[in-house]
Structure 1
Amino acid sequence: MPQDTVLDGGLLKDTGDPGFGVYVHWPFCAAKCPYCDFNSHVRHQAIDQERFARAFQQEISVARQMSGPKTVTSIFLGGGTPSLMKPETVDTILQSIAEHWHVPDGIEITMEANPSSVEAERFRGYRAAGVNRVSLGVQALNDRDLKFLGRLHNVEDALKAIRLAREIFPRMSFDLIYARPNQTVADWEAELIEAMSYAVDHLSLYQLTIEEGTPFYGLHKAGKLIVPDGDHSALLYEATQAITAANGLPAYEVSNHAKPGAESRHNLTYWRYGDYAGLGPGGHGRLSRGSEKIATATERNPEAWLSLVEEHGHGIIDQERLGYDEQADELLLMGLRLREGVDLARWQQLSGRDLDPRREEMLLSHGFVERIGNSRLRCTPSGMLILDSVVADLAC
Structure 2
Amino acid sequence: MQDAATEKAETANAETENEAGFGIYVHWPFCLSKCPYCDFNSHVRERVEHDRWRRALLAELDHYAALTPGRTVTSIFFGGGTPSLMEPATAGAVIERVARHWTIAPGLEVTLEANPTSAEAGRFRAFRAAGVNRLSLGVQALDDAALRFLGRRHDSAEALDAIGLAARHFERFSFDLIYARPGQDEAAWRAELARAVGLAVGHLSVYQLTIEEGTRFHTLHGRGELVLPDEDTAAALHEATQEVLETAGLPAYEISNHARPGQECRHNLTYWRYGDYVGVGPGAHGRLTLDGTKRATRTHRAPEAWLERVESRGHGGHEQEVVPPEARLEEMLMMGLRLAEGISRRRLVEETGRDVDEAVDPGALARLSAAGFVELTATRLRAAAAGRQRLNAVLAALVR
- Name the TM-score class by shorter chain: over 0.9
Q: Which residue of 2 aligns with 1:149?
A: 150
Partner SS for 1:150: coil
- CA distance in 1 between counterparts of 2:14 and 2:188 reads 33
Q: How does 1:305-324 map to 2 (within 5 A)?
A: 305-324=306-325
Q: Which residue of 2 aligns with 1:269?
A: 270
What letter is aligned with 1:197? Answer: G
> 1:86, 1:122 within 8 Å by CA — same for their partners in 2?
no
- CA distance in 2 between counterparts of 1:156 and 1:117 reads 10
- CA distance in 2 between counterparts of 1:284 and 1:201 reads 28
Partner SS for 1:210: coil
Q: Which residue of 1 aligns with 2:101?
A: 100
Q: How much has 1:291 moved relative to structure 2?
A: 1.9
- CA distance in 2 between counterparts of 1:176 and 1:85 reads 23
- CA distance in 2 between counterparts of 1:118 and 1:318 reads 39
Q: How does 1:202-281 map to 2 (within 5 A)?
A: 202-281=203-282
Q: Percent identity?
A: 53
Deviation larger for 303-312 or 323-332: 323-332
What letter is aligned with 2:384? Answer: T
Q: 1:20 to 1:143 in 2, by over 3 A?
A: same
* Equivalent residue in structure 2 for 1:33, among 24, 32, 35: 35
Q: Which residue of 1 aligns with 2:5?
A: none
Structure 1 consecutive aligned stretches of length 4 or more whose deviation exceeds 6 Å: 11-14
Q: How much has 1:119 moved relative to structure 2?
A: 4.3
Q: How does 1:247-396 map to 2 (within 5 A)?
A: 247-349=248-350, 350-352=352-354, 353-371=358-376, 373-396=377-400
- CA distance in 1 between counterparts of 2:43 and 2:14 reads 35
> 1:282, 1:297 within 8 Å by CA — same for their partners in 2?
yes
Partner SS for 1:34: coil
- CA distance in 2 between counterparts of 1:67 and 1:394 reads 34
Q: How much has 1:79 moved relative to structure 2?
A: 0.3
Q: How much has 1:240 moved relative to structure 2?
A: 0.5
What letter is aligned with 2:203? Answer: H
1:354-379 Cα shifts (integer Å, max 9, x gaps): 432201011112221122x3221211
Partner SS for 1:73: strand
Q: How much has 1:351 moved relative to structure 2?
A: 4.8
What letter is aligned with 2:27? Answer: H
What letter is aligned with 1:107? Answer: L
Q: Which residue of 1 aligns with 2:137?
A: 136
> 2:338, 2:388 within 8 Å by CA — same for their partners in 1?
yes
Q: 1:354 to 1:34 in 2, by over 3 A?
A: closer
Q: Which residue of 2 aligns with 1:196?
A: 197
Deviation larger for 204-213 or 96-105: 96-105
- CA distance in 2 between counterparts of 1:242 and 1:346 reads 31
> 1:140, 1:176 within 8 Å by CA — same for their partners in 2?
yes
Unaligned runs of 5+ in 2: 1-8
- CA distance in 1 between counterparts of 2:31 and 2:386 reads 37
What letter is aligned with 1:18? Answer: A
Q: How much has 1:106 moved relative to structure 2?
A: 3.2
What letter is aligned with 1:377? Answer: L
Q: Which residue of 2 aligns with 1:3?
A: none
1:137-189 Cα shifts (integer Å, max 9, x gaps): 00000000000000000000000000000001111100000000010011111
- CA distance in 1 between counterparts of 2:15 and 2:186 reads 33
What letter is aligned with 1:358? Answer: G
Q: Which residue of 2 aligns with 1:67?
A: 68
Deviation larger for 134-143 or 228-237: 228-237
Partner SS for 1:22: strand
| TM-score (structure 2 length as normaliser) | 0.93
Q: How much has 1:217 moved relative to structure 2?
A: 0.4
Unaligned runs of 5+ in 1: 1-6
Q: Which residue of 2 aligns with 1:56?
A: 57
Q: Which residue of 2 aligns with 1:17?
A: 19
Partner SS for 2:197: helix
What letter is aligned with 2:204? Answer: L
- CA distance in 2 between counterparts of 1:192 and 1:290 reads 47
- CA distance in 2 between counterparts of 1:176 and 1:67 reads 36
What's the Cα RMSD here?
1.8
Q: Which residue of 1 aligns with 2:173?
A: 172
Equivalences, count: 386
> 2:118, 2:158 within 8 Å by CA — same for their partners in 1?
no
Deviation larger for 215-224 or 60-69: 60-69
Q: 1:13 to 1:140 in 2, by over 3 A?
A: farther
> 2:212, 2:218 within 8 Å by CA — same for their partners in 1?
yes
What letter is aligned with 2:395? Answer: V
Deviation larger for 29-38 or 350-359: 350-359
- CA distance in 2 between counterparts of 1:106 and 1:269 reads 15
What letter is aligned with 1:327? Answer: R
> 1:299, 1:305 within 8 Å by CA — same for their partners in 2?
yes
What letter is aligned with 1:296? Answer: T
